[in-house]
Every structure is written in C-alpha cells, then in structure tokens.
Amino acid sequence: MGCLTGALLTVAIVAAPAAASERLQIAPSHASVEPGQTLHFQAAGSSRGSGEGSGPAPAVRWQIVSGPGSLSADGVYRAPYVVPGASSAIIRASTGPKGVEISDEATIELRPGAYPGADSCAGDGQDHVPAIGEYVDLDELPVAITTVTPVYPASARARGIAASLMVNALVCRSGHVLDAVPTWGLGSTPVGVLEDAAIDAARQWVFKPGTVAGRPVATWIAIPFVFKP
C-alpha cells in the first residue's frame, strides 16, 4: 500500500523552573523535517540539578505559534503530509504559572514534498490530508472491510505480557491506511514489540472510506488492539 512511517527525531529541551531570573531554552533552536515526519521534544528541569531532593521537572506546555502541522500535549510535532512549497512553523514551550511563565520558541523548516502515498489520499473538497486529531465532519464513518489480527510476538507471549492500545489510522479516500500512530492509555506502560505488531496490523486494514455528500474523503479512525497471553 506504500504506507510508511515518518522517522521519529528526538530534540532535547532544557527546561528551568518558573522563576523571573531564569529562562527556558529549546535546543536546537532550528530543525528541518520532511513531510509527515515527527519531532519529539523532551523537557527536563536542568537547573534543579541531579542530586537528592531536586524535585520533579516542571510541567511544560506546548503550542504552535504559527505555521502548519500538529503538536501533542507531550511535545510531539508532526509535519503536514503534503508541503507544496518551502515553509516553516514556530512552536513554543512554556512553564510556570500564567503571568510569570517562562518560554522559548523554535523554528521548524518544512521541506517541500509529499509523504509517500499522500498525493492521492485527500478526497474531493479536501485541500489537505487531515492531521492527527483534526476533525472531519463526515456523513458516513469509515467501515472496515479487511481486518488483520496482529501477530503476538513470541518474546511477549513467553513472558505473559498482556496489553491494550489504540492505533490511530489515517484512512485515505481509497480506503487504504496511509499512516498509523499508537496511543497508550493513561498509566499504561508502552511495550515496544506489541506496539510494532499493532501498527503493522493496522497498516494492512482496508476500509470503505468515510464520505461527505457521497464523496470519499480522508479521515482518522481509532482501532483498538488487545494482546492477551
């Protein structure tokens, strides 16, 4: 189906406690990504030190100040699937109480091009492939017509590991899955081999696509996967 996952880059952020004399720094201040690629920003309260009693790192809030793409609450930026021309996005990380918060910004350069298969993903009337979490007002929801059960990894089965997760699948107007993004429940501990198995299975699902005014369109749908020993 030509469904590939964008590479996941890790970008470090040095976060200081919210204090007027300190500032938050995002490193690097500039980054460059391909269409559909993700950047995972990690926050750490470096000025608290690493000794005993240093306390937890301060919470960091994320937002896109300008430009396209999506940004999760835990700092994962995902570039648009189609970038028609050179453009950029600015993201902001902030921490501390409102009114006295400290923040810093970073610029992400978006390279022109398209994620494999994205050129034919959006339906008539859609001017872009929807980002994860973007609402699409459908008349009819996608319906699965081909489902694939994930292969339970032998290593996880031998250890009796049970887990459940959701895989958010981007269903194109063709009914094929362009991309798949895992989501673990609050308090769950991600298990890499099970996550990979679920993503691999989700990519092979085929749907009757969602429609608007009778026309097929691209949209995201959540697929639950449960692994039992």
Q: Which DSSP letter does residue 58 get?
A: P
Counting every residue written for the chain, the total comes to 229
Report whether pLDDT(207) > 50: yes
Contact 81, 123 (CB under 8 A): no
Contact 28, 41 (CB under 8 A): no
**Domains in the chain and their CATH numbers?**
8-114 (2.60.40.1080), 121-227 (3.30.2420.10)
Question: Residues 118-133: what's their mean pLDDT?
Answer: 95
Closest CA relative to residue 77, chosen from 62, 97, 66, 95:
62
Provide the strand spans (E) within 158-218. 163-171, 177-183, 206-208, 211-212, 215-216
Contact 94, 65 (CB under 8 A): no
Contact 117, 36 (CB under 8 A): no
pLDDT of residue 43: 66
Q: What average pLDDT does the chain have? A: 85
pLDDT of residue 10: 43
pLDDT of residue 52: 40
